[in-house]
Amino acid sequence: MKNRALMLVALVMLAGCASDTETSSFPDRTIEIIAPATPGGGWDLTARSIQRSLENDGLIDEHVTVVNKPGGGGEVGWQYLNQQDSHFAAVNSSLLLTSNLLGQSELSYKDFTPLAMLSTEWLAIAAKSDAPFENGVEVMELLKENPKALTIGVSPSLGSGNHLAFVQAAVAFGVEPTELQFLVYSSGGDIMNALLGGHIDIATNSVSGFAEQYEAGDINMLAVSSEERLDRFGEVPTWKELGADMVFPHWRGLMGPADMQPEDVDTWDEWLSSMVETEEWQTLLENNDLDAFYMDSEETAVFMAEQEAFFAEIIADSGLAP
C-alpha cells in the first residue's frame, strides 16, 4: 500500500514536470492562423498574409498554416479558437465588438487574449460621377434637410463598419440617422452594381472597394474616414477636414485563446513586431490598399476597450442598440 502511494506521488510529480516542460517548450508544433470565413475574403487575405510573412521572416522554426472556419459572422472560427492552445490565433475585426453590442453574439473581446492590431483600411462614401455632389458635406446637408432624400447602400448588414461609419458622419452633421433610408447588400460588389445601376444614390464601402470604378471615372469618392488624405487618392477629402470630428479605421487584428500563458504572449509579440517590419508584409499592405496599424498585445488590449465604448455610442445613435 505504501509503495502504491509512493508511485502515485511520483506519477503526479512527473506529470507536473511534463506540464512545465510543455509550457516552456512553446512552440513545439505547427502554428495555425484561423480565418473565420471562407477563402477569398478580407479575413482570409489577412490570415494568409500573416502566414507568408511569418514564414518568410524566419523567426519561427515550425510550419505556419491557415485554417478556414466560416460561419456565424466569425463566431464559428472564434469559438473554435477557444478550444485550442497558444499554437492557434484568429483574425478579428470590429465585428467581434459590434455583434456583441447588437445582441447578435454572446462572445466578447474579453473572452480572448489580444495579440495585435495589424492593419486597417479606410471607409468612404461615393456617388456616380454625374451625381450633383462635390463632397460629403453636400450629401449631409441634403440629408439634414430631408433624411429620406437619398437611398444609401451598405453591406453586409446594418451595424457593420460601413454602416456605422456613415452613422458617425451623419451625427456629426446633425442628421438623424434613424430616419435615413439604408438598403442592405450582401457584398461590396453588389453595392457597386446597385450604385452604377442607379438603384441607390450613395454607397458606403472600403476605399479599396471603390478604387477600380473611381479610377475609371465611373464614381466619385466624396469623403474618406482616415486621419489624413490618402496618398493614392489625394484629391478625396477626409471627413475631418470637412468638419466632422471623426476618424474611423476598419481594422483587422489577431487574438489568441483565453488564458494564454504570459510567456506565450511575449513570443507572439516578438513574432508579430518583427513580421510587420518585413518587406513581405509591407508589400502585402500596399498591394491591398491597407495601412499599417500595428499595436502589440498590451496596446491592443487598451485599444479594444476604447473601441467597445466607441461602438456602443455609435450603435446607440443608430437606433440599433438592443
Q: Could you check whether 29-121+249-318 and 122-224 share the same CATH topology?
A: yes
pLDDT of residue 41: 77
Euclidean distance between CA atoms 175 and 196, whole angstroms: 25
Tens digits of pLDDT across the chain (322 residues)? 445 544 444 444 444 444 443 445 899 999 999 999 888 878 888 999 999 999 988 889 999 999 999 988 899 999 999 999 999 999 999 999 999 999 999 999 999 999 999 999 999 999 999 999 999 999 999 999 999 999 999 988 888 899 999 999 999 999 999 999 999 988 888 999 999 999 999 999 999 889 999 999 999 999 999 999 999 999 999 999 999 999 999 999 999 999 999 999 999 999 999 999 999 899 989 888 889 999 999 999 999 999 999 999 999 999 999 8
Q: What are the C-alpha distances in Å from 227 to residues 90, 173, 200, 237, 243?
A: 27, 18, 27, 10, 12
CATH of domain 29-121+249-318: 3.40.190.150
CA–CA separation, 11 vs 33, rounded Å?
35
At how many degrees (to 10) do helices 297-318 and 161-172 cross? 70
Q: Is 60 within 8 Å of 30 (Cβ atoms)? A: no
DSSP string, 193-233: HHHHTTS-SEEEEEHHHHHHHHHTTSEEEEEE-SSS--STT
Work out the angle at residue 37's Cα, subtended by the Cα atoms of residues 35 and 39, and round it to the nearest 5 degrees.
85
| Three cell numbers, residue 131 | 451625381
**What was the pLDDT predicted at 15?**
46
| H helices present in the chain, as ranges | 2-24, 42-57, 75-81, 95-101, 136-145, 161-172, 188-196, 207-215, 262-275, 279-287, 297-318
The domain segmentation of the chain, as residue ranges, is 29-121+249-318, 122-224
Q: Give the per-residue pLDDT at 288.
A: 83
State the DSSP H helix or E strand holding residue 151, giving kind and residue range, or none if neither.
strand 151-154
216 and 233 Cβ atoms separated by less than 8 Å: no
pTM of the model: 0.83
pLDDT of residue 157: 84
Q: Which residues contact 99 (CB under 8 A, 6 or more apart)?
A: 73, 74, 75, 105, 107, 159
CB 220 within 8 A of CB 127: yes
Candidates 1.10.510.10, 3.30.9.10, 3.40.190.10, 3.40.50.1000; CATH matching 122-224: 3.40.190.10
